[in-house]
């Protein structure tokens, strides 16, 4: 059994840098490299949807210099790697409130989404300035009671995640895709995100393959 939709909480960039006596931004740069790698690995394994938790609404509490660096890295990777994404026929989709981003980064995000909108391969959801509670509240405010509630979520038209991987040792979902994860299988690893490897992904997917998903029924 292989998941159709994998979600990832990419945790541990700062601790990875601290362990190596490096500035925290080095951890974010390395984490971005691994994010690019996992897109490749999941695409090779024919996983149709991949959602990466890139920046939460709670992350605004971090030092401004670190926040600026995170968005600089995001903008640079989107600008430099967009053609590579298009070549793979992958589609970028952003979930979260992009209005709070600086205008330049927001425009890069929207242009990246538009440029890949006709791609029909793997879907890459990037959760930026994302909050699961805020998403549900937004959907509830828009819902008229006549259409499907899910049509007002950021992930409208997509299947819910089958599998969540969280790195870094924490065992919680941290306000991530609260509606969509009602029946998601959870996997936690102590590996810090910048150290997450292809073999770590395969270990996680092997674990998933052994699980029996009953959705409240009887196996």
- Residues marked as catalytic: 11, 59
The H or E element spanning position 5 is strand 5-9
Contacts of 146 (CB under 8 A, 6+ apart): none
Contacts of 105 (CB under 8 A, 6+ apart): 71, 74, 75
Interatomic CA distance for residues 117 and 66, integer angstroms? 30
Contacts of 92 (CB under 8 A, 6+ apart): 78, 85, 112, 113, 115, 116, 124, 126
Interatomic CA distance for residues 18 and 20, integer angstroms? 5
Taking the CA atoms of the chain, what radius of gyration do you get in angstroms? Answer: 17
């Amino acid at each position: 059994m292989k998941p159709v939709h994998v979600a990832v909480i990419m945790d541990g960039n700062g601790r990875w840098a601290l362990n190596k006596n490096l500035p925290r931004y080095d951890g974010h740069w390395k984490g971005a490299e691994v994010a690019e790698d996992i897109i490749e690995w999941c695409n090779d394994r024919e996983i149709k949807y991949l959602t990466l938790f890139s920046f939460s609404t709670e992350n605004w509490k971090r030092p401004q210099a670190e926040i600026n660096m995170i968005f600089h890295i995001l903008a640079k990777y989107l600008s430099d790697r967009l053609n590579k994404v298009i070549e793979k026929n992958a589609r970028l989709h952003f979930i979260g409130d992009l209005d709070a981003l600086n205008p330049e980064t927001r425009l890069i995000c929207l242009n990246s989404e538009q440029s890949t909108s006709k791609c029909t391969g793997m879907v890459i959801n990037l959760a930026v300035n994302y909050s699961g509670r805020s998403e549900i509240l937004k959907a509830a405010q828009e819902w008229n009671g006549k259409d499907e509630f899910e049509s007002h979520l950021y992930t409208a038209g997509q299947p819910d995640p089958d599998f969540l991987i969280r790195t870094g040792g924490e065992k919680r979902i941290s306000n991530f895709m609260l509606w969509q994860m009602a029946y998601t299988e959870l996997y936690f690893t102590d590996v810090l995100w910048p150290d997450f490897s292809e073999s770590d992904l395969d270990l996680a997917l092997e674990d998933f393959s052994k699980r029996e998903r009953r959705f409240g029924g009887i196996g």
